[in-house]
Amino acid sequence: MHDAGSCFHCGEPIPRGENRHVLIKGEPKPVCCAGCEAVASLISGAGLDGYYRIRTAPAPRPDDAAAGPDEWDVFDRPQAQQNCVRPFDDSRSEATLLVENISCAACAWLIEHSLRQLDGVDEVQVNPASGRALIRFEPAKAPLSRLMRAMARLGYRPHPTGSGESAAVAERRAALKRLAVAGFGMMQVSTFAVSVWFGAFQGIDPVYRDFMNAVSWLVSTPVLFYAGRPFFIGALRDLRARRIGMDVPVALALVLAYAASIWNALQGSDLVYFDSVTMFVFFLLIGRYVEMTARHKAAHTTEALAQLVPATARRLQDGVETRVAVAELGIGDIVAVAPGEAVPADGVVVWGESRLDESMLTGESKPQRRGVGEPVVAGSVNVSHPFRLRVERLGQDTVLSTIGRLLDRAQAQRPRLAHAADWIASRFVVAVLFIAAGVYAYWWPSDPALAFQAALAVLVVSCPCALGLATPSALVAGTDRLAQSGLLVARADALETLAKVTHVVFDKTGTLTTGAIAIDQVRPLADVSGDEAMRLAAALEQHSAHPIAHAFAEVDSPYHAERVEAHAGQGLEGWIGGRRLRIGTPAFVAAISGSPAATVPADEAGWIALGDEQRTLALFRLIDHIRPEAAAVLETLRQLGMELEIASGDQAEPVAAVAERLGISRYASRLTPADKLAHIRALQRAGAVVAVVGDGVNDAPVLAGADVSIALGSGTALAQTSAAMVLLGDSLRPIAEGVAIARRTARVVRQNLGWALLYNVLALPLAASGWLLPWMAAIGMSVSSLVVVLNAMQLNRRRPVDAAADTQPLAIKEAC
């Protein structure tokens, strides 16, 4: 593209008679002037010449098409484009792509410039804030796959997005624009203010001052009416709803300061506040931006979750592997997943065994083993061996999407605590309006100019942003932090209630046990030893995927069972050395010998029988293992001052056994859901705040009766859960952690409210006395808001202790 006639650096034609060259990588390149010569040698000398490489690389080459099919080709199919491409006019289309690794404006610049060089690309806009690229192109000349390949080659992998631009992205974009306008305006106006100030030392000519004032007026006008628009809209909305919100004093202060400045400037007075107006708008917008970022972080979590699912999958059909878009997959398809790839859909492993990283979904940092017959969820990452899975759930039905929806729902609700804070803030706003009026009235007789300045400062300094932000910012950060450790907050109020919990009731013994069954006791009934019975049973169970089979997995058996058949709900039948054997329910086992079923003890811990065609040989007593982390978690909860109880519908003996082993003294068994509910109500009447931990599906009424309900979420059950909080992983640990975080969140809310009140108590008198100039008030107000938001954001950070214990699951975005 750089023929001899144009400058290597700026691309302008080289004027006749100019003969300048710069050595780039040993090659002389023509440049057009001393400036470009200096810049080009500077860039190459400083080792920044990667800029040139990237800038010039993606000129379309004919061999692109001949390069053979790759993962991007599938994006030329209509199914793969349905979400991210819309027709623009007859020949052109518009695509929205999510681009990885965009970390700064320069990346966006490079992508835009390199794509625009492709034939058939009309318009490229890359938003560095959201990482989204909007491309208008002619598919006939430039197929989408070529654009995506070009981006990938630059090091920015594109992903097709869902429905265009999300509301959050649009909001952020608008906020950034406003911020930029306010920032530039503020800098320009401040430059003029400083010039006037410097000029004042030299005895500035009034003409200069008037000129500066006029330009300041000009510049602050878009700042006020464009950048400051949200405050006016908010104030109008409030007034129309006949209430006084936070935006009312802000809008009032802005309009007053602006109008007074114009008036004074026209009068030729020095008292102009254009600098204060632009600063106030800018700082308020910064506060809003930080708040919005905190708010979006959780939404961002949802988006990051969605990004986990790969765009394409390798489908196996009649032994042939083809790469297809995930949208093209159907239920029942077999998909191959190589190490390093992400699982495209929920399904069951049908071949191979591997370990999968599910940390993004469950907060569990250790990769989980998954073998044939075991479920895998979309979005988990295969970390060791290739395997194949049969697709069972796709798209919106996956566990991942459900988690996203639950998060969205929780975020959309407004917790009680935030309502209370709003109420206080609105009362406070009314008080501030009265104080400002009072201050004005007080100073006016003696010094009208000071009266206005002081009233303005009062309005600005006490802008109750800090007060309004104190609660929601902390709750949002706390919620997000919990999701990262594997406890999903599905109802907005759950977090603040969790901080107050006094009693934790475990609704089932199953919540405290692993569900992995162990053999507790062997009772031989005939002339076989217990060990021999175990070996025979193990040989049969080798052929089963049933949870009970795991209990026998560790037994070393010399036997080999043949023709093993599973009888659903009853047991297994098979042959060992010509002997027909059955294992399962006593009645099922006794059926082949014609003898009466063996009687089992009444404890109903779970007994199974083994027998041949003559008799029942042995009984095995099966118990559930206590979760390895249960004891430590319960101990932590006790240290946090919680009363622990088990209220179970199970039989008395296993409940007692579990309670005894975990040191829980208060337990009840054989309870109906109504009994449990009555028990919880009784506790609540006695003043307790009760958290119930259950499985979330079968015990909905019990969970609903609790102050806060925590469900052990797993697979499909997640979608129907009615619980306020869901444990995403297979561990109780996040409960203890969650209580600690909830209490820290509550503490931060108190700190924030305290700080906001203290700040106002200190700043208001200063402003009222006229000591604070309006621009100082603007700085004070914004600092107080930032303190509140930053204090809340530290909730989001993991403490070094627990950061060492496991990796941060939601760190993909921050990593770049």
Partner 1 sequence: MSGEQMTLLAALLAGLFGSTHCFGMCGGIAAALGSGNPAIQRGPVRGLGYQLLFSGGRILSYAIAGAIAGGLSFWLGALIDVPAWSGVLRVATGLVMVAIGLQLAVNWRGLRHIEALGGRFWRRLSPLVGRLLPVRSAPAALGVGMLWGWLPCGLVYTMLLAAVVSGSAAKGGALMLAFGAGTLPAMVTIGASAGGLTQLIGRHSLRRGAGVLLLAFGAWTMATPILHLGHGAHGHATHSHSEMPAGHHAH
Active site residues: 507
Least Å from the CB of residue 756 to partner 1: 24
Q: Does residue number 174 form part of the binding site for partner 1 (CB under 8 A)?
A: no
Least Å from the CB of residue 126 to partner 1: 7
Amino acid letter, 405: R
389 closest CA partner among 339, 345, 325: 345
Least Å from the CB of residue 194 to partner 1: 9
Q: Nearer Cβ to partner 1, position 33 or 168?
A: 33
Q: Does residue number 197 form part of the binding site for partner 1 (CB under 8 A)?
A: no
The stretch near partner 1 (CB under 8 A) out of 208-216, 458-466, 558-566, 722-730 is: 208-216
Least Å from the CB of residue 404 to partner 1: 24
- Residue 390, beta-bridge partner list: 334, 348
The stretch near partner 1 (CB under 8 A) out of 46-54, 318-326, 557-565, 685-693 is: 46-54
The stretch near partner 1 (CB under 8 A) out of 107-115, 409-417, 528-536, 590-598 is: 107-115
- Sheet containing 354-357: give its strands across: 368-370, 354-357, 381-382
CB atoms within 10 A of CB 698: 14
Q: Does residue number 555 form part of the binding site for partner 1 (CB under 8 A)?
A: no
> Site for partner 1 (CB under 8 A): which residue of 29, 30, 54, 590?
54
809 closest CA partner among 332, 487, 443: 487
The stretch near partner 1 (CB under 8 A) out of 82-90, 180-188, 427-435, 530-538 is: 180-188
Q: Nearer Cβ to partner 1, position 196 or 248?
A: 196
The dihedral of CA 166, 167, 170, 171: what is its sign?
negative
Q: Does residue number 538 form part of the binding site for partner 1 (CB under 8 A)?
A: no
Q: Does residue number 38 form part of the binding site for partner 1 (CB under 8 A)?
A: yes
DSSP 8-state class, residue 227: I
Structural tokens at position 380: 């988990």
> Site for partner 1 (CB under 8 A): which residue of 5, 23, 28, 42?
42
Q: Could you tell me the maximum CA-CA distance found in the chain, to the nearest angstrom?
A: 119
Q: Where are the alpha helices (DSSP H) in 486-577?
A: 494-500, 530-541, 547-551
3-class secondary structure for 5-42?
Answer: CECCCCCCECCCCCCEEEEECCEEEEECCHHHHHHHHH
Q: Nearer Cβ to partner 1, position 109 or 755?
A: 109
> Site for partner 1 (CB under 8 A): which residue of 24, 152, 176, 555?
176
> Site for partner 1 (CB under 8 A): which residue of 22, 30, 36, 347?
36
Sheet strands (E) in 202-285: none
CB atoms within 10 A of CB 385: 12
Name residues contacting partner 1, limited to 214-273 (CB under 8 A). 215
Residue 244 C-alpha from the chain's centroid: 33
The stretch near partner 1 (CB under 8 A) out of 121-129, 273-281, 780-788, 804-812 is: 121-129
CB 22 within 8 A of CB 10: no
Query: Which helix (DSSP H) or strand (DSSP E) does residue 710 occupy?
Result: strand 708-712
Q: Does residue number 587 form part of the binding site for partner 1 (CB under 8 A)?
A: no
Q: Nearer Cβ to partner 1, position 120 or 199?
A: 199
Least Å from the CB of residue 184 to partner 1: 6
> Site for partner 1 (CB under 8 A): which residue of 48, 170, 516, 526?
48
Q: Does residue number 7 form part of the binding site for partner 1 (CB under 8 A)?
A: yes
Count of residues touching partner 1 (by CB under 8 A) = 57
The dihedral of CA 780, 783, 788, 791: what is its sign?
negative
Q: Does residue number 736 form part of the binding site for partner 1 (CB under 8 A)?
A: no
d(CA 505, CA 739): 14
Least Å from the CB of residue 25 to partner 1: 15
Strand 708-712 to 690-694 pairing: parallel
Q: Does residue number 128 form part of the binding site for partner 1 (CB under 8 A)?
A: yes
Q: Is 318 left (phi over 0), alpha (psi -120 to 50) or beta?
A: left
Distances (CA, A) of 651 to 295, 671, 770: 47, 9, 75
d(CA 810, CA 816): 13
The stretch near partner 1 (CB under 8 A) out of 38-46, 296-304, 659-667, 752-760 is: 38-46
Please enumerate in sequence order all residues whose Cβ is within 8 A of that of 556, keeping only pairs 6 or more positions apart, or say none.
535, 538
The stretch near partner 1 (CB under 8 A) out of 150-158, 184-192, 238-246, 559-567 is: 184-192
CB 127 within 8 A of CB 97: no
> Site for partner 1 (CB under 8 A): which residue of 104, 320, 553, 815?
104
d(CA 271, CA 774): 11
Q: Nearer Cβ to partner 1, position 45 or 765?
A: 45
Distances (CA, A) of 748 to 126, 442, 467, 728, 751: 37, 38, 13, 25, 5
Q: Does residue number 569 form part of the binding site for partner 1 (CB under 8 A)?
A: no
Q: Does residue number 103 form part of the binding site for partner 1 (CB under 8 A)?
A: yes
Q: Does residue number 19 form part of the binding site for partner 1 (CB under 8 A)?
A: no
Name residues contacting partner 1, limited to 672-731 (CB under 8 A). none
DSSP 8-state class, residue 397: G
Q: Does residue number 155 form part of the binding site for partner 1 (CB under 8 A)?
A: no
Q: Does residue number 125 form part of the binding site for partner 1 (CB under 8 A)?
A: yes
Name residues contacting partner 1, limited to 589-618 (CB under 8 A). none
Place of tokens 């046990």: 513
Helix-helix angle 144-154:105-116, to 10 degrees: 140
Q: Does residue number 292 form part of the binding site for partner 1 (CB under 8 A)?
A: no
Q: HSE (CB half, 13 Å, CA atoms) of 184? A: 12
Least Å from the CB of residue 52 to partner 1: 8
CB atoms within 10 A of CB 217: 18
Q: Which residues bind partner 1 (CB under 8 A)?
A: 7, 9-12, 15, 18, 32-39, 41-43, 45-48, 50-51, 54, 103-110, 112, 125-126, 128-129, 176-177, 180, 184, 187-188, 191, 195, 198-199, 202-203, 205-208, 211, 215, 816
